[in-house]
Amino acid sequence: MFSKSRINEPGPKQTAEPEKPKMPETPMAPAMTTDKPAAAPKPKPAASVLSSDLTITGNLRTTGDIQVEGTVEGDIRAHLLTVGETATIKGEVVADDVVVNGRVVGRVRGLKVRLTSTARVEGDIIHKTIAIESGAHFEGSVQRQDDPLSNGTAPRPSAKPAASQD
């Protein structure tokens, strides 16, 4: 009924049943057998810089950050927009954060808008929070909105339904 065990002796095991793979005693995630390291969060890319000798005619759109030192004739949409002291933007600016050190001719929309002492803005500013330093030049209106990034172009419901002719 019982047989002598050969635990310490080398050689093949003599068992009647085929060997089953052992399951780990504690619950664990399956082992990854790839050469790649564990997925780490992607590092935030550096801001795109438009140098002072660059002139762009057209719209710019990114989910990242832009630093403008040159001239842009068109609309800009970004996460963070920094307008350098030598920069001129002629168009609408839409960003989560807008820092104006240079000149903007057009509407500025942002969750946080900051005009530094060297800023020159000619246009309306729509913001959630705003900071204007002493010495900044601003001509236009300022309006606070909870969601300044929305276009505000949603159609309004009409007071009366349109009459239909049958």
- Tens of pLDDT along 104-147? 999 999 999 999 999 999 999 999 999 999 999 999 999 999 99
> Does residue 83 surpass a pLDDT of 60?
yes
C-alpha torsion 102→107→112→115, nearest 10 = 30
> Does residue 102 surpass a pLDDT of 50?
yes
In this prediction, residue 107 carries a pLDDT of 97
- Show the tokens assigned to 126: 């729509």
Buried b / exposed e across 93-126, counting CB within 10 Å, b at 16+? bbbbbbbbbbbbebbbbbbbbbbbebbbbebebb
| Single-letter code of the amino acid located at 127 | H
60 or 21, which is more confident?
Answer: 60
In this prediction, residue 91 carries a pLDDT of 97
Question: For 80, which DSSP code?
Answer: E
> Does residue 93 surpass a pLDDT of 90?
yes
Residue 82 and residue 65 in contact, taking contact as beta carbons nearer than 8 Å: yes
